[in-house]
Chain A
Amino acid sequence: MGQASSKKITAQDDAILSMKIQRDKLQQYQKKIKHVTARETEVAKECLRRGDKKKALVALRRKKYQESLLAKTDAQLEQLEILVNDVEFARVQKDVMYGLQQGTSVLKQIHREMGGVEGVEKLLADNEEARLYQKEVNDLLAGRMSNQDEDEVEDELEALEREMNPIKDEPISHPELPDAPAQEPERRESQKERWERRAREQREQREPQEPLLA
């Protein structure tokens, strides 16, 4: 799949392999020694059975010598294995370092694209300016609308609402008359009340923005 480039055997791989091969050879050697010692024991037993003490002693001495070799190879094997593990761990560390490096450089690049701290400050200042300007425009437009215009707008809204929900007005044709309302029907606002409400609403509409500007 064309990934050959990332899948190359490096000199490090070769070095690790030769260490591991060496380890394998030691293990094979140990197997051989264990086999030899077992055989020498057999030989010693056989000699004793025949009453040849001298030969049995020689065989046991040979066995002893082989066992000392085994102990030595054990130590070597341990060293080799520690080395192999160290090398492999160092490789992992290298990979981690590489990853960290990549991440850091990406982070730096993104920061550079953002234009640094000054850039961000300038952007925020621009943003606030634009919003202030928008508010000014809003205020101007709202101020230009006379109360009478607003009255007409609201009346129209009410008319539209009635038109869209005509069912509410129909119960007259119903054979059973509905109960008398328990609550006092909603009173239509007087014009003065309406103006006051609108002024209040406009104030409220503007106020929640204030803390944002601060």
Chain B
Amino acid sequence: MAQAAPQTGALEPPSTATPFQFPGYYSFPPFFTAQPNLVTRAAQHQKWSLLIQAYCRHNRIFVLSLIDALNSPLFHNAALNRRLSLNDAREVLNWMASEPGGNRAEWIGGTGKAKTGAEKVWVYWRRPEEWASVLEGWVDGTGQKGSVLTLWELVEGEATASQEFHGMDMDLLQKSLQVLVKRGKAQIFGQEDSLGVKFF
């Protein structure tokens, strides 16, 4: 199952030019129904997690809106006329957000442990600490240690157009930079809507 390993392509920046190649199990009808057997269910969660990560990586989605996603090809296989129900999708994302799911997702908002009512979710095809390493590597590789960069130019500037973090969600960028700040590798400063960062 070569397509079930999206992590291997981590080094190439994702392209939106080509349509996303769905894995083989996407055409398997039972995949869209929560499996009663616990072992099968765990495997199903794993596969969904990989699919969601690969899909978001390909389309550079950082925040998934649950309601919109239900009607997108991700959760809705039009060819099979099958879709994942809201509850099942929620369960998959809950699993991704959990420890066994590798903390590959995080709900935005919502109340309680089940995060009921949350409609948007971070999909961490790279976790903030992984993004931090990518950012640090880029700053290192381009010799920009000690210089001041605006957050906007990090994700929208021409210099980063070929980078994976180009077009990244601003909040996620800040989360990732906070990791570097904690490590003493960066400092964020400036006004609320015009933030800059200095790397060390």
Shortest Cβ gap from B142 to chain A (Å): 13
Are A14 and B189 neighbours in the complex by a CB distance under 8 Å? yes
Residue B8 interfacial (CB < 8 Å): no
Question: Interface code A9-21, partner B: CB below 8 Å = 1, 0 otherwise?
Answer: 1000110111011
Are B152 and A24 neighbours in the complex by a CB distance under 8 Å? yes
Taking residues whose C-beta sits less than 8 angstroms from the other chain, chain B's interface range is 10 to 19
Are A13 and B148 neighbours in the complex by a CB distance under 8 Å? yes
**Residues of chain A lying within 8 A (CB to CB) of residue B156:** 24, 27
Residue B149 interfacial (CB < 8 Å): yes
Shortest Cβ gap from B166 to chain A (Å): 14
Residue of B with least CB distance to A87:
B148
CA distance in complex: A8, B33 (Å): 55
Residue A4 interfacial (CB < 8 Å): yes
Shortest Cβ gap from A93 to chain B (Å): 14
Residue A3 interfacial (CB < 8 Å): yes
**Residues of chain B lying within 8 A (CB to CB) of residue A20:** 148-150, 153, 196
Question: Interface code A155-178, partner B: CB below 8 Å = 1, 0 otherwise?
Answer: 000000000000000000000000
CA distance in complex: A24, B153 (Å): 7
CA distance in complex: A27, B187 (Å): 24
CA distance in complex: A27, B137 (Å): 26
Are B198 and A9 neighbours in the complex by a CB distance under 8 Å? yes
Residue A150 interfacial (CB < 8 Å): no
Considering only CB atoms and an 8 Å cut-off, how many residues of chain A contact the other chain? 17
Partner of A7, one of B147, B153, B184: B184
Residue B36 interfacial (CB < 8 Å): no
**Residues of chain B lying within 8 A (CB to CB) of residue A17:** 148, 150, 189-190, 194, 196
Q: Which secondary structure dominates chain A's binding surface?
A: helix
Are B184 and A21 neighbours in the complex by a CB distance under 8 Å? no
**Residues of chain B lying within 8 A (CB to CB) of residue A28:** 152
Residue A42 interfacial (CB < 8 Å): no
Residue A88 interfacial (CB < 8 Å): yes
CA distance in complex: A16, B150 (Å): 10
Are B148 and A7 neighbours in the complex by a CB distance under 8 Å? no
Are A16 and B148 neighbours in the complex by a CB distance under 8 Å? yes
| Complex interface residues of chain B between 132 and 176 (CB less than 8 A to chain A) | 147-150, 152-153, 156-157
Residue of A with least CB distance to B147:
A88
Residue A1 interfacial (CB < 8 Å): yes
**Residues of chain A lying within 8 A (CB to CB) of residue B189:** 9, 13-14, 17
CA distance in complex: A27, B156 (Å): 10
Shortest Cβ gap from B179 to chain A (Å): 15
**Residues of chain A lying within 8 A (CB to CB) of residue B148:** 13, 16-17, 20
Partner of B198, one of A1, A13, A18, A27: A13
Residue B31 interfacial (CB < 8 Å): no
Shortest Cβ gap from B69 to chain A (Å): 27
Are A7 and B200 neighbours in the complex by a CB distance under 8 Å? yes
Most A CB atoms within 10 A — which of B148, B194, B200? B148
Residue of B with least CB distance to A24:
B152
* 5 A-B pairs in the complex with CB atoms less than 8 angstroms apart: A16-B147, A17-B189, A20-B153, A23-B153, A24-B157
Residues of B near any A CB (own CB < 8 A): 147-150, 152-153, 156-157, 184, 187, 189-190, 194, 196, 198, 200
